[in-house]
A and B are shown apart, each in its own frame.
Chain A
């Protein structure tokens, strides 16, 4: 404000001319001088007052739209509430909760008791919440009240950090038990061979057994590694765009191999794209197809179908016509090392981890896994993964609501 006082030149000129006219008009110069002094002085004083402030829309009242735009592309989920109604939610927040939260009571998005305690507290603060978007995830929520009824809510996902330590203990617990069995038999056979005295036929049989057990050990280590890798990454959703139709075809044929190729029938709808990680999706298809071929009846076909559900998902179904699985086993199938028939599973080289890996891969891709089976008829495994919104395949251009309902 301490700037150079502006000199009101036009006023001065007007005052001079006015006084001159008055003096010419016959007023005494003294009186004219006094008039001029008064005139100039008042002009001078008036000019000292600061100019009226310009209309201030720019600084104080940041419009809501502006603010919304500013936070829109932040990677951190951010929400703004007015009297505990959500007025702004950025893209990341809409990803977590869904677009419906806009305009709703903030409790609709944050229903956990800890979060509600935070919302009810006037001074804001930070809290940790479990099960915000998915069960068992962990988020840190900070709430900063701004002026009056408006508050900013920031969400940070802490699930991955909390999970790492647990994953390590699980890995050790699982691995030690399952690795010990094949190792024990390898050691036993090698000791017997080292003692000598076995005839040629027995020796060959022992070598075969050792080789088989070592292979099993190798598979087990590979599966354990991929299981723990998938688990560790479970919380970061993969972002790469995958041409799922082509991938399913390739991986399914790959799993069948030339020997079992004629037992495989494939029906893949074209142009299905999802977000995912290629290796894991391949592994998913391979595991499912391999299971179906392995446990299905030897001379029966295995059917692999990929299509779209009305709920905007890619659906992969793998059906075998084997002996089926009894209902009481179904809930446990995705547990590690769970076997309905341990001896048979081992004989066919299973590690007991295939479906556990599949389950984790599906979870990482935000999908769902369902297993249905009838004893005597066979088993159907269904995997559904959300279709991607980006670069939609040609048939999918309309908005979600007006999607065509296909009967499948």
Chain B
């Protein structure tokens, strides 16, 4: 990692780029966790914090965009450097979406009342935890350029999808039995959907991390890719 470049300025730029992505990721990760906490505990202040915090993620995304364009324009990176810059550009976009989904969850959290009596709510935290863990792992994989960990994240997405199916069924039967709670259930169904999307986006990032690290997209099965263009 970090083979010396003859142009020191390039090294500095790319380090800064990685730093910005990491900062964005940290914010998105915290947003997912806080949004779920706000939902479970009914903490409106925390929900507001998540909603406001999304602006910072957006600002960072445009900063990443500018820096990446500047690097490409001024330094004309080649091979794995170029791959890294392109991956950073795409990852920033996806992380920003994760922030948006967290914001949506926080907004839904504000709309739910009398959560004490609401039994399906107990299923969501575990699902949120899985998705948040994927986001955490994929950011760690990005930082370490760890293709193995990126593959783990991709595999973990099935778990979140299964969880979503399970919750969907559970909520529908709950709605049938308790028509009075349908609007709340529907809100929670959207939350589950958002969590599922967060998992999908973490998977997208994982694929890009894999690409940035190895130059190949991960194989479908859990076997090793045919050849590794090592780092």
Q: Judge whether B18 and A131 touch: CB under 8 Å.
A: no
Complex partner residue of B18 from A108, A113, A135, A329, CB under 8 angstroms: A108
* Complex CA–CA separation, A113 to B56 (angstroms): 11
Interface residues of A in 94-120 (CB under 8 A from B): 97-98, 100-113, 115-116
| B132 contacts the other chain (CB 8 A) | yes
**Interface presence of B33 (CB below 8 A):** yes
* Contact partners of B27 in chain A: CB under 8 A: 113
Is B59 on the interface with A (CB-CB < 8 A)? no
The answer to whether B126 touches A368 (Cβ under 8 A) is: no
Which residue of the partner chain A has the closest CB to B56? Answer: A113
A107 (CB) vs chain B CBs: closest residue:
B19
Known: A103-B2, A105-B15. A407 touches B163 (CB 8 A): no
Task: Tell whether A332 pairs with B162 under 8 Å between CB atoms, given A109-B143, A131-B33.
Answer: no
Point out the residues of chain B lying under 8 angstroms from A102, CB to CB: 2
User: Which residues between 1 and 46 of chain A lie within 8 Å of chain B, taking CB atoms?
Assistant: none
| B2, B19, B30: the one within 8 Å of A113 (CB) | B30
**Contact A98 B143, CB 8 Å, known A105-B16, A108-B19:** yes
Tell me whether B143 and A112 are in contact (CB under 8 A).
no
Contact for B26 among A104, A112, A330, CB less than 8 A: A112
**A376 in contact (CB, < 8 A):** no
Q: How far is the CA of A106 from the CA of B20 in the complex (A)?
A: 10
Residues of A within 8 A of B165 (CB): 327-328
What A residues does B133 contact at CB under 8 A? 135
Contact A116 B143 (CB under 8 A): no
The CB with the most chain A CB atoms within 10 A, among B18, B19, B144, B170, is that of B19
**In the complex, which of the residues A85, A103, A328, A407 has the most CB atoms of chain B within 10 Å of its own CB atom?**
A328
Question: In the assembled complex, how far is the CB of residue A76 from the closest CB belonging to chain B, in whole angstroms?
Answer: 21
Decide yes or no: A100 and B136 within 8 Å by CB, A113-B30, A331-B126, A332-B166 being known contacts: no
Judged by a CB distance under 8 angstroms, whether B77 is at the interface is no
Q: Establish whether residues A330 and B143, one from each chain, have CB atoms under 8 Å apart when the complex forms.
A: no
Cβ proximity bits B16-45 to A, threshold 8 Å, 1 near / 0 not: 101110110111011001000000000000
- A176: interface (CB < 8 Å): no
Q: Does B1 contact A (CB under 8 A)?
A: yes
State the CA gap A109–B169 with chains docked (Å): 40
In the assembled complex, the Cα of A108 lies from the Cα of B2 at a distance in Å of 14
Contact flag A407-B223 (CB < 8 Å), given A111-B23, A111-B29, A135-B132: yes
Residue ID in chain B nearest A130 by CB atoms: B33
Whether B162 lies near A331 (C-beta < 8 A) is yes
Q: Nearest Cβ in chain B — how far from A111, in angstroms?
A: 3
- Alpha-carbon distance between A331 and B122 when the two chains are bound, in angstroms: 13
CB proximity of A157 to chain B, nearest CB, Å: 17
Q: Which one of A100, A111, A405 contacts B224 once the chains associate, using CB atoms below 8 Å?
A: A405
Q: Does the CB pair A98–B144 fall under 8 Å?
A: yes
Contact A328 B18 (CB under 8 A): no
Q: Are A100's CB and B162's CB within 8 A?
A: no
Closest to B168 in A: A328
Q: Does B127 contact A (CB under 8 A)?
A: yes
A89 to B163, CA, bound (A): 39
B143 touches A104 (CB 8 A): yes
Contact A331 B127 (CB under 8 A): yes
Given contacts A104-B15, A113-B26, A135-B133, contact A330 B159 (CB under 8 A): yes
Q: Which residue of A lies closest to B127 (CB)?
A: A331
Instruction: Pick the contact of A328: B26, B132, B152, B166 (CB < 8 A).
Output: B166
B29 lies within 8 A of A331 (CB) = no
Cβ B148 vs Cβ A100 within 8 A: no
Q: For the complex, give the distance between the alpha carbons of A112 and B155 in Å.
A: 25
- Inter-chain contact A328/B126, CB cutoff 8 Å: no
Please, what's the 1-or-0 string for B79-109, where 1 marks a CB less than 8 Å from any CB in chain A? 0000000000000000000000000000000
Chain B 155-208 residues near chain A, CB threshold 8 A: 155, 159, 162-163, 165-166, 169-170
CB distance from A58 to the nearest CB of B (A): 30
**How close is A373's CB to chain B, nearest CB, in angstroms?**
10
Nearest-CB residue, chain A, relative to B11: A103
The reply to whether A111 and B26 form a contact with Cβ atoms under 8 Å apart is: yes
**Chain B residues with CB below 8 A from A407, complex form:** 223
Q: Tell whether A335 is near chain B: CB-to-CB under 8 Å.
A: yes
Q: Is the CB of B126 within 8 A of A335?
A: yes
Assess whether A327 is in contact with B166, with CB atoms less than 8 Å apart: yes
Docked CA distance A329–B33 (Å)? 24
Rounded to whole Å, the gap between the CB of A106 and the closest CB of chain B is: 8
Chain A's nearest CB lies how many Å from the CB of B189?
15
Complex Cα distance, B145 from A168, in Å, reads 39
CB distance from B105 to the nearest CB of A (A): 17
Residues of B within 8 A of A368 (CB): 152
Q: CA A109 – CA B19 in complex, angstroms?
A: 9
Interface residues of B (CB under 8 A from A): 1-2, 15-16, 18-20, 22-23, 25-27, 29-30, 33, 53, 126-127, 129-130, 132-133, 136, 139-140, 143-146, 148, 152, 155, 159, 162-163, 165-166, 169-170, 223-224, 230
- Contacts A100-B1, A134-B136 aside, 5 further interface pairs with beta carbons under 8 A come to A105-B19, A111-B143, A113-B27, A327-B165, A370-B155
Query: Could you list 11 A-B pairs, sorted by A, with CB under 8 Å?
Result: A85-B15, A98-B144, A103-B15, A106-B19, A108-B22, A112-B26, A112-B29, A116-B26, A131-B30, A330-B159, A331-B159
Q: Which 9 A-B pairs have the closest CB atoms?
A: A105-B19, A111-B26, A328-B166, A107-B19, A111-B22, A331-B163, A311-B148, A107-B22, A108-B22
